[in-house]
Amino acid sequence: MKVIRDPVHGYIELDELILPLIDTPQVQRLRRIKQLGLSNLVYPGANHTRFEHSLGVMHLATMLTSQIDSIENEEKEELRAAAFLHDIGHGPLSHVTESLIKQYTRERHEDVKPILRKGEIAEILQDNGLDPMTIAAHIKGETDLGKIVNSEIDVDRMDYLVRDAHYTGVAFGLVDYVRLIHEMKFYENKLVVNSGGLKAAESLLVSRFLMHPTVYYHHVSRIAETMFTRAVKHLIDKGTLDPFKLRRMEDDTLFELMRADDDYAGEIAKRLDERRLYKRALHVGHEEVGEGVMHYRGKVERAEAEIADMVGIDSREILIDIPKKPEIAEMKALIKMNGKMVRLDEASNIVATLEKAHFDNWKMGVYTLKEHRDAVSKAAREFFGAKKETTQYRFSDIEG
Amino acid sequence: MKVIRDPVHGYIELDELILPLIDTPQVQRLRRIKQLGLSNLVYPGANHTRFEHSLGVMHLATMLTSQIDSIENEEKEELRAAAFLHDIGHGPLSHVTESLIKQYTRERHEDVKPILRKGEIAEILQDNGLDPMTIAAHIKGETDLGKIVNSEIDVDRMDYLVRDAHYTGVAFGLVDYVRLIHEMKFYENKLVVNSGGLKAAESLLVSRFLMHPTVYYHHVSRIAETMFTRAVKHLIDKGTLDPFKLRRMEDDTLFELMRADDDYAGEIAKRLDERRLYKRALHVGHEEVGEGVMHYRGKVERAEAEIADMVGIDSREILIDIPKKPEIAEMKALIKMNGKMVRLDEASNIVATLEKAHFDNWKMGVYTLKEHRDAVSKAAREFFGAKKETTQYRFSDIEG
Amino acid sequence: MKVIRDPVHGYIELDELILPLIDTPQVQRLRRIKQLGLSNLVYPGANHTRFEHSLGVMHLATMLTSQIDSIENEEKEELRAAAFLHDIGHGPLSHVTESLIKQYTRERHEDVKPILRKGEIAEILQDNGLDPMTIAAHIKGETDLGKIVNSEIDVDRMDYLVRDAHYTGVAFGLVDYVRLIHEMKFYENKLVVNSGGLKAAESLLVSRFLMHPTVYYHHVSRIAETMFTRAVKHLIDKGTLDPFKLRRMEDDTLFELMRADDDYAGEIAKRLDERRLYKRALHVGHEEVGEGVMHYRGKVERAEAEIADMVGIDSREILIDIPKKPEIAEMKALIKMNGKMVRLDEASNIVATLEKAHFDNWKMGVYTLKEHRDAVSKAAREFFGAKKETTQYRFSDIEG
Amino acid sequence: MKVIRDPVHGYIELDELILPLIDTPQVQRLRRIKQLGLSNLVYPGANHTRFEHSLGVMHLATMLTSQIDSIENEEKEELRAAAFLHDIGHGPLSHVTESLIKQYTRERHEDVKPILRKGEIAEILQDNGLDPMTIAAHIKGETDLGKIVNSEIDVDRMDYLVRDAHYTGVAFGLVDYVRLIHEMKFYENKLVVNSGGLKAAESLLVSRFLMHPTVYYHHVSRIAETMFTRAVKHLIDKGTLDPFKLRRMEDDTLFELMRADDDYAGEIAKRLDERRLYKRALHVGHEEVGEGVMHYRGKVERAEAEIADMVGIDSREILIDIPKKPEIAEMKALIKMNGKMVRLDEASNIVATLEKAHFDNWKMGVYTLKEHRDAVSKAAREFFGAKKETTQYRFSDIEG
C-alpha cells in the first residue's frame, strides 16, 4: 500500500489496482489538463488538474463502496477503476473544448469505450480480473452501480466542489461529503440517500448553486473561454487542427498550436497570454432578453455578423455567448423519507427552488474590444431587445 | 496596539478603547458563558464563549466601519464599542435561559441600558468621549448605524456562523463575510448590500438555514435545554433563585446551584452531568401536527399534565418543547440592484424560499424517560393528533 | 457504528466498545475538565476538554493498531480502551492541580487502577472480554504495547499538539501524524519509527518545542495557575478541601468552592474571574539566575517569606514559580535507520539540540501585585542573584 | 481599490500601482511559470505559479511596511513594487533552469535591471513617481530597505513556505508570519526582529528545514529536474535553443521545444510526460561519500562517463546530481534581545543547529535506467567510495 499526499483529502491510498493505472500515458496526460480551464485568469490559484481530481474521486468511491455490503468485491474494484478513469476522455482545458469536440466528432468526454477497448489500461484491468466495458458503462452512468460515479449526486461532484473551493479560495464549496457518503445506500438497485443525509445533500446542491456564478460561470472565464473556443474553431476550419486529434491533446500543446498561428488564433492566444480580454458589451439575464434568445444557441455567428454590420466592424471582434439553460439533475436524486423513496425536490423546499434560482443566475454575454464597447452595447441591446441597463460587478473587477 | 490570537480571524487588534473594556468584570464574565449553551452534549468541541465571539464581532465591525467614509470617527468608535458589548446582557448558557429571564423579568438580552448607565464601563466609554446611551441604542438596533451590529444582516451573525462552524466541526458555516462586508454601504441612512454582494448574502442565509437543524435546533440540544430550563424554573418557583439575579449569573454558578438542590433540579443536573437525557417520544413537523399546535406555546405544562394522566406517570417525567415559528429576518435586508433598493427576497429566488424551507425543518418534541417512551409516544400522538410515524436520525445518534 | 463530529479529525467512529464507555459518569466528567487549565486567559478559544481529546486519542490508536498485523484483535481493543480512558485520572483543570494532588495523595493521573478495578467501566470492559488491569498497565506505559498510548512518541502527544493548535489558533502544532502513524511498527517488542517517518517525528518534537513557550508555559498561564494552586492549597490546609476528593472534582465545582471562601482563596478566585492577575516582578532564564535556583523547587514559601520581609509586605502577595527542568523524552524514541534501531537523538541533529533549546526557553517567575512590582523586582533580583534586566513581551501583552 | 481572491491570504487588495503592473506581459508571463518546477510529479497539487506568489509577497510587504513609521510613503510604494516584481527574472520552471541560465548567460534571476530599465513596467513605475533602478536594487537586496524583500528573513520566504504547504498538502509550512511581520522593525538602518518575534522566526527556519527534504529536495523532483536540465542543455549545445532566450521562455513553450526534438531531449520529454523516470542507483549523504564529493559539482559529466565506462553503457543513461552544501542565511538575521542586536543563531540554540541539521539531509544521487540500476549502483559506489547500503523511502514511494 502506497500513499500520495492530497491537499483536499490528506492522504490517498494507492493499491495494486491503481498504481499501474497511474503509470499509463492516458492517466499521466491528465496532469496536463487543468480542471477549471481558464478560470485561473480570475482565480490565480485555480491551476489544479484532472489528475488529482481523478485520485480524489477514486478515494471517495473507495470510501462509499467500502460501506455498502451488497456490492461484491469485484464490483467495488470496477467502481473504483471507473472513478479513477472517469475523466480520461476529457479534451484540453476540460469543459472548454467539450462542445467543440462534440460538434465535430460526436464524441462526449464520458464516452471512453474507444480508450478502454484495448491497450495498456485494458490489459491492467483484465490482469486484475475486471471488465473494461463494464467500467466504461459505469463511467457513462448506464449501470445501476455506476450511479456512484455518474449520477445526480455522485462522488465526482463531491470531489470537484470541495477541490475547486480549495484552489480558488472561494468559501462556498464546503460539502459535508463524509456524512453524505455514509448515508448513501442501494435500495432495489437504486442509489438512495437516507433521510439522515438530507441536510448534507442540500449542502451539495447549495454549494453548486453558489459556485456557479462565482466560479464556473464567472463572466471573465466565460469571455476567455469564448475567445479560446472561437480560436480553436478557426484552426479546425482552416485545416490546421484535426478535431479527432484535438480530443487527445493537452492544454499546453493546444496553446502552442494557437500561438504558432499567424492569423486570428495567434492573435487570440497572444491576448489570452497577456490577459487583454474582450469586454462585456452586454451581459444580461433572461428577464431582460426573454427566453427566446435561446434560439440563437449554436448559431451565434449570424447574430455576430449582423451586430458587426450595425456597428461597422469586423464580425470577429464580436463574440456572443449564450450558455445553456441550467438543469439541476440532483433534484431527481432519490431520498428515503419515512420509508418511502421520493425525489430530492419533493423532500426539500430549498431544492425545489434551485432550478429556478439557477436560471436567475443565468446570463448571456456579448463581448467585444474595449474601443467598440459602447457601440456594440447599443447595437446588441437593440438586436436582442434587452430592456434596461445592467449593473457591473464592482468589488471584484480584477476577478472579472 | 496589542493583539490577541483568535482561531477564526487569526489576530484581533485591541486598541485603547477596547483594552480597558476587556478588563471590566462584566466583560470578563462572558468568558464563563458558553456561546452555544448545551450544544457540547452533541458537539464535544462546542465550548466556545461569548467572550471570544464579542471580540470577533468587534473585529468585523472595525473592518466594516473602516471602509465607510460617511461614518464619523466618533460614531465608528461607538459602533465598535457596541459590537464588543452587544452580548453583556446575556444570561447563563446564552439563549438557553433567555425566554425564562424574559418571562420573569421582562428583560431581553439586548436591553443593556441598565448595565451601561453607570459604573466602570460607562466611565471608560465617557473617558473616550463616547455616549453610553447611544451605544445601548445601537445594541438594540434602534439606530440607523446600529444596523451594523443588530439587523437582518449584521456582523453578529457573520461571526457566530463562522465561529460555531469552527468549534462544532460542521462544514456549513462558511460565509464569505469579507466580501459581504466590503459590499455593505449606507444609502439614505439605510444599511444596504451592493449587488456585487448578493451571492455572499445568499451564502449567509443558506449557512443559517443549514446550521439550524444541524446545530442550533439539534434535537439533543433541545432535549437538554428543555430539561435545563425546567429545572431552573423549579428553582425560581420554589424561591431558591431570584430571576433578576439569574440574568447576572454564569454557567457554572447556576449549574452548582442546581446540583445543590435535593429535588427535581438536582436530579436534572445529575442527569445532564452524566448525559442521561430524556428521549424523544414524539418529534414531528408541522405537517404532521398542524400549525394549531402553536397555541400550546407558553402553556405546555397543562398538556404535559394531561398526557401524564393518560399514561399514569408523574407530569415532570414529560417535557413538551414547541419552538417558535422561524422568521428569517434577513429577507428584509436591503440590496441595491440596478440602482434600486429592493428587499433581499425580491432579488433572490433562493432567499424567497428560505422562510418556507426553515419551517420545514421546524419540529416539536415530546420528551420522556426511556422506560415511558412507548406509552408517552402513543398518548402524545393522540393528544396532538399527529398523523404518521416519523423517522429518527440514524447516522449520528451519538450526536443526538 | 455511530459517529461523532470532531473539529480536528473530522468524524470519529464509535463502536460497541466505546459507546457504553462514553456513557459512564467517569468519562462524562471529562466534559467538564478543560484540557489546557487556565490557558483560556491567554487564548480565549482554549476551552476544549479532556473528553474530546480522549476521543481523538482513541481515534489515533485505532488508526495505528489497525495497520500493525502483529497485534491480536483483543489486544487492539485493549489499546483502544486504554487510549480512550487514559485521562480519567486527571484532576480539575488537568495539569494545574496535578502536582498538588501528587503532593497530598501520592497519586498521579496515570494511576487509574483504583478507578478501573471495579464499577461500571470495569463491567463494560469485562463484558467485552477485556482485562481492566492490562488496560491500566497500558495507560501507565508499563507494557510494550502500551507505548502506543504512553511513551516518548505516542498518540496522546499527537492529538494534543494538533488539538491545542486548533483551539488556541497558534500555527505551531502541525504534526504530520498520519504519516508518523503509518511509519510506526513493533520490532522485537519495541515500538519503533521507520526511517521514512524521521521527518514526521522531527515535526512532532519541533512542534512541542514551539508550543511550549507560546502556549504551555506562557507566562500569563503560569501566573494564573500559580495563583490558583496556591488558593487550592489554602483550602486544603485549612481543612475545607479533602485532597483525595479534589482528584475527583471538576473545574467549576472547585472554582465554586474557592469563590465561597471568605479569605485568601475567595480573593484569588475573584481575581481570576476578573482577570486581575499578579504581575511579573522577575521573569528570568537559567543563564541569569543559575541552575542553583532549582534547589528552591518545592520549598518556595520560605523564599517568598524572605522576599516579603525585605519589601515589608504580606508574604501571600508574592508568588514564586520555578518550573521543573525540561526533559525531552521523545529523544529516547527508537527509529530504524539502515536496518539498525537507534535513538531519535542519534539519528537527528535537530532532535539532539532540542533538550538544550528547551532549557533556553525555561524561565522562573516571581509574581506580585502591581503596586509592589518595583520593590519586589529589586528584592527578588537580589535574593536570587539575577544578573541583568530582562525584556518583556511587547506584541502580545494581552496574551500575557 | 480592487481585490483578488487568494487561497492563502484570503483576499489581496490591488491599488492604482499594482493594477497596471498586473496587466504587463512580463507579469502575466508569471502565470505560466510553475512555482515548484517539477514537484507536481511528487505532489499532484503543486501547480501553483510565480504569479500568485508575487501577489502574496506584495501583500505581505504591504502589511510589513504599513506598520513601520520610519519608512516614507514613496519608499513604501517602491518596496511594494519590488515585492511584486521580485520574480520577473525567473526562467521557465523557476529554479529548475536557474543554474543553467547562470552558466550560459551569467545572469541571475534577481538581476532585473535589464527588464526594468525601459519599457511598459518602467513607464508605469515612473508615472507613479517611483524609481525603477531603486526597485531593482531592492530586489537584489542591495539596499537596507530591500532587506524586506530579499534577506535572511524576508516576505518572500514567508509567502512561499505557507503557499507551498497549501498546494502540496504538507503540514510543515506553517509559519506564524503575521506575528513575525508585526515584530520586524528598522534599527540603525538594519532590519531587525524584536525579541517577541523569536519563536516566530524560529518557526520560519524550522519550517524551511522540514520542507527541504520533504518537498524542495525530494529525490523524485531532483531526478526529474536533473533529467530536465540535461535535456535543455542538450538543446543549447546543439544550437536549437538560445540561452539568452531561454530566460524569457515559459514552462510549456520550453516543454514543447523539447518534445519537438527527435533526439535525447525529445526522449527525456516523453519520459517526463509519462513519468518514466530514471531511478536512484546511489542516494547517499556526506557521511557516506565524504565532503570531497563536492569537487565534482559543475563537472559531473566526466564522472558520468567514467561510471558508464565501468558498466559499459551510454553515458547519457547516467545522471549525477550533487546539490550544493546548504547555507542557512537566516541565521545571520538580526534579533534584538535585551536591547542588543545579536544574530539569530546566537539567540537561539535551535537555530544554531540548523545548518548542521540541514547538511544531514543533504544527499547526492546517481540516477540511471531501471535496467542498469544494480550495475550502476555498484560502479557508482566504488567510484565515489560510498561506505554502506542506504535505506530507501518505503511509505511514500509514489511520492518518490
Identify which of B199, B213, B393 has the shortest CB distance to residue A210.
Answer: B199
Identify which of B179, B352, B391 has the shortest CB distance to residue A395.
Answer: B179
Identify which of B3, B11, B178 has the shortest CB distance to residue D11.
Answer: B178
- Give Cβ neighbours of residue D219 (< 8 Å, ≥ 6 apart): D280, D283, D363, D365, D393, D400
D residues 351-380 closer than 8 Å to A (CB): none
Q: Is the pLDDT of residue B394 over 70?
A: no
pLDDT band, very low/low/confident/very high, at B206 (cuts 50, 70, 90): confident
Residue A127 sits at the chain D interface (C-beta within 8 Å): no
Determine the distance in angstroms separating the CA of A249 from the nearest CA of chain B, rounded to an integer: 36
Angle at C31 between CA C25 and CA C37, to 5 degrees: 130
- Alpha-carbon Rg of chain A, whole angstroms? 22
Stretch D335-349: mean pLDDT: 89
Q: Do D44 and A52 touch (CB under 8 A)?
A: yes
Instruction: Compute the mean pLDDT over every residue in chain A, rounded to the nearest whole number.
Output: 91
Chain A CB contacts of C3 under 8 Å are: 182
What does each C-alpha distance from D235 to D100, D149, D259 come to in angstroms?
Answer: 12, 34, 11
Interface size, chain A vs chain D, as Cβ–Cβ contacts under 8 Å: 124
Assembly ipTM: 0.90
Chain B CB contacts of C396 under 8 Å are: 2-5
Interface size, chain B vs chain C, as Cβ–Cβ contacts under 8 Å: 126
Instruction: Compute the mean pLDDT over every residue in chain C, rounded to the nearest whole number.
Output: 91
Q: Do C274 and B25 touch (CB under 8 A)?
A: yes
Q: Where are the alpha helices (DSSP H) in chain D?
A: 18-22, 25-28, 50-66, 73-85, 98-105, 113-117, 120-127, 132-140, 155-168, 177-182, 198-211, 219-237, 243-246, 251-260, 264-273, 286-289, 300-311, 344-347, 349-361, 373-384
Q: What are phi and psi of D211, to 5 degrees?
A: -70, -30
Q: Is the pLDDT of residue A264 over 70?
A: yes
Chain B CB contacts of C40 under 8 Å are: 31, 49
For residue A216, give the C-alpha cell: 464556473
For residue B399, the model assigns a pLDDT of 38
For residue A172, the model assigns a pLDDT of 66
For residue D178, give the C-alpha cell: 503575521
Strand partners, D185: D192
For residue D388, the model assigns a pLDDT of 62
Interface size, chain B vs chain D, as Cβ–Cβ contacts under 8 Å: 8
Q: Which segment, A248-257, B287-296, B339-348, is predicted with the most confidence on average?
A: A248-257
By the 8 A CB rule, do B122 and B114 touch?
Answer: no
Give the integer Cα–Cα distance in Å for B313 and C239: 45
What does each C-alpha distance from A30 to A23, A250, B374, B378 come to in angstroms?
Answer: 11, 8, 58, 59
Residue C360: which of D349, D194, D332, D330 has the closest Cα? D349
**Sheet with C334-337, edge to edge strand ranges:** C184-187, C190-194, C334-337, C340-343
Minimal Cα distance from B9: which residue of D? D10
Q: What is the pLDDT of residues A75-131, one digit of tens each?
A: 999 999 999 999 999 999 999 999 999 999 998 888 999 999 999 999 999 999 999
**Three-class secondary structure of residue C386 per DSSP:** coil
Q: Do A199 and B214 touch (CB under 8 A)?
A: yes
The fraction of chain C above a pLDDT of 90, given in percent, is: 73
Q: With 0-12 CB in 10 A as exposed, 13-18 as middle and 19+ as buried, what is B275? A: middle
Q: Is the pLDDT of residue D392 over 50?
A: no
CATH second-level architecture of D1-169+218-276?
Orthogonal Bundle (1.10)
Q: Where are the alpha helices (DSSP H) in chain A?
A: 18-22, 25-28, 50-66, 73-85, 98-105, 113-117, 120-127, 132-140, 155-168, 177-182, 198-211, 219-237, 243-246, 251-260, 264-273, 286-289, 300-311, 344-347, 349-361, 373-384
Q: Is the pLDDT of residue D129 over 70?
A: yes
**Sheet with B340-343, edge to edge strand ranges:** B184-187, B190-194, B334-337, B340-343
Identify which of B3, B11, B178 has the shortest CB distance to residue D10.
Answer: B178
What does each C-alpha distance from B300 to A242, B292, B360, B384 come to in angstroms?
Answer: 76, 13, 22, 12
Count CB-CB contacts under 10 A for residue C365: 21
Q: Is the pLDDT of residue A397 over 60?
A: no
Q: What is the pLDDT of residues B341-387, one digit of tens each?
A: 999 988 888 888 887 888 888 999 999 999 999 999 999 999 999 87
Q: Which segment, C179-188, D97-106, D264-273, is predicted with the most confidence on average?
A: D264-273
- Give Cβ neighbours of residue A5 (< 8 Å, ≥ 6 apart): A11, A12, D43, D45, D168, D169, D170, D396, D399
**Three-class secondary structure of residue B190 per DSSP:** strand
Q: Do D253 and A256 touch (CB under 8 A)?
A: yes
The fraction of chain B above a pLDDT of 70, given in percent, is: 95
Q: Is the pLDDT of residue A393 over 80?
A: no
For residue B299, the model assigns a pLDDT of 87
Q: What is the pLDDT of residues A271-289, one digit of tens each?
A: 999 999 999 999 999 989 9
The fraction of chain B above a pLDDT of 90, given in percent, is: 72
For residue C32, the model assigns a pLDDT of 97
Chain A CB contacts of B210 under 8 Å are: 199, 202-203, 206
- Give Cβ neighbours of residue A254 (< 8 Å, ≥ 6 apart): A92, A93, A97, A232, A246
Question: Which CATH number does C2-169 carry?
Answer: 1.10.3210.10
Q: Do B10 and D179 touch (CB under 8 A)?
A: no
For residue B334, the model assigns a pLDDT of 92
For residue D291, the model assigns a pLDDT of 87
Determine the distance in angstroms separating the CA of B170 from the nearest CA of chain D, rounded to an integer: 20
Identify which of D28, D167, D274 has the shortest CB distance to residue A7.
Answer: D167
Identify which of D6, D169, D398 has the shortest CB distance to residue A7.
Answer: D169
Q: What is the pLDDT of residues B53-70, one digit of tens each?
A: 999 999 999 999 998 999
Q: Cα B60 to the chain's mean position, in Å?
A: 19
Longest Cα separation, chain B: 67
Give the integer Cα–Cα distance in Å for C265 and C227: 9
Identify which of B28, B167, B276 has the shortest CB distance to residue C7.
Answer: B167
Longest Cα separation, chain C: 67
Q: Do A210 and B202 touch (CB under 8 A)?
A: yes
Give the integer Cα–Cα distance in Å for D202 and D264: 45
Angle at C6 between CA C4 and CA C11, to 5 degrees: 55
What does each C-alpha distance from D141 to D26, D81, D148, D190 come to in angstroms?
Answer: 21, 14, 8, 12
Strands D334-337 and D190-194, by their bridges, are parallel
For residue B395, the model assigns a pLDDT of 36
Q: Which segment, A35-39, C68-72, D173-177, D345-349, is predicted with the most confidence on average?
A: A35-39
Identify which of C194, C209, C350 has the shortest CB distance to residue D394.
Answer: C194
Residue A259 sits at the chain C interface (C-beta within 8 Å): no
Q: Do B182 and D10 touch (CB under 8 A)?
A: no
DSSP code, position D70: T
Give the integer Cα–Cα distance in Å for A271 and C314: 80
Give the integer Cα–Cα distance in Å for D200 and D158: 11
Give the integer Cα–Cα distance in Å for D41 and B80: 50
Give the integer Cα–Cα distance in Å for D315 and B52: 65
Give the integer Cα–Cα distance in Å for C127 and C117: 14
Count CB-CB contacts under 10 A for residue D132: 23
> In chain B, helix, strand, coil percent, each to 5?
60, 10, 30
Stretch D315-337: mean pLDDT: 88
Q: What is the pLDDT of residues D182-214, one digit of tens each?
A: 999 999 889 999 998 998 898 888 888 888 888
Q: Is the pLDDT of residue D396 over 60?
A: no
- Give Cβ neighbours of residue B31 (< 8 Å, ≥ 6 apart): B49, B51, C40, C44, C275
What does each C-alpha distance from C80 to C14, C17, C62, C115, C189 come to in angstroms?
Answer: 11, 9, 6, 17, 18
Give the integer Cα–Cα distance in Å for A355 and B115: 50
Residue C152 sits at the chain D interface (C-beta within 8 Å): no
Mutate one of B353, B355, B358, B388 to test the A interface: name it (highest A CB count within 10 A). Answer: B353
Q: Is the pLDDT of residue C17 over 80?
A: yes
By the 8 A CB rule, do B199 and A214 touch?
Answer: yes
Amino acid identity for residue B359 in this structure: F
For residue A174, the model assigns a pLDDT of 67
Q: What is the pLDDT of residues A323-344, one digit of tens each?
A: 998 877 767 889 998 888 999 9
Give the integer Cα–Cα distance in Å for A360 and A358: 5
Q: Is the pLDDT of residue B255 over 60?
A: yes
Q: Is the pLDDT of residue A360 over 50?
A: yes
For residue C80, give the C-alpha cell: 483502544
By the 8 A CB rule, do B171 and A175 touch?
Answer: yes
By the 8 A CB rule, do D87 and D53 touch?
Answer: yes
pLDDT band, very low/low/confident/very high, at D400 (cuts 50, 70, 90): very low
Q: Is the pLDDT of residue B293 over 70?
A: yes
Q: Do A4 and D167 touch (CB under 8 A)?
A: no
Determine the distance in angstroms separating the CA of D195 from the nearest CA of chain A, rounded to an integer: 34
| Domain-wise residue ranges, chain C | 2-169, 278-325+362-400
pLDDT band, very low/low/confident/very high, at B392 (cuts 50, 70, 90): very low
Stretch C187-216: mean pLDDT: 89
Determine the distance in angstroms separating the CA of A215 from the nearest CA of chain D, rounded to an integer: 11
> First and final CA of chain B: distance in angstroms?
44
Q: What is the pLDDT of residues D265-287, one digit of tens each?
A: 999 999 999 999 999 999 999 98
Stretch D94-123: mean pLDDT: 93
Give the integer Cα–Cα distance in Å for D326 and D354: 10
A175-179, A223-227, D58-62, D322-326: least confidently modelled range? A175-179
What pTM did the predictor assign?
Answer: 0.90
Identify which of C11, C179, C182 has the shortest CB distance to residue A178.
Answer: C11
Q: Do C10 and A179 touch (CB under 8 A)?
A: no
A117-126, A174-183, A213-222, C138-147: least confidently modelled range? A174-183
Strand partners, C13: C3
A residues 173-232 closer than 8 Å to C (CB): 178-179, 182
Q: Is the pLDDT of residue A395 over 70?
A: no
Q: What is the pLDDT of residues B93-122, one digit of tens each?
A: 999 999 999 999 998 888 999 999 999 999
Residue C47 sits at the chain B interface (C-beta within 8 Å): yes
pLDDT band, very low/low/confident/very high, at A173 (cuts 50, 70, 90): low
- Give Cβ neighbours of residue C340 (< 8 Å, ≥ 6 apart): none
pLDDT band, very low/low/confident/very high, at A304 (cuts 50, 70, 90): very high
Mutate one of C14, C180, C182, C199 to test the A interface: name it (highest A CB count within 10 A). Answer: C182
Chain B CB contacts of A337 under 8 Å are: 391
- Give Cβ neighbours of residue B229 (< 8 Å, ≥ 6 apart): B96, B97, B99, B100
Q: Is the pLDDT of residue B290 over 50?
A: yes
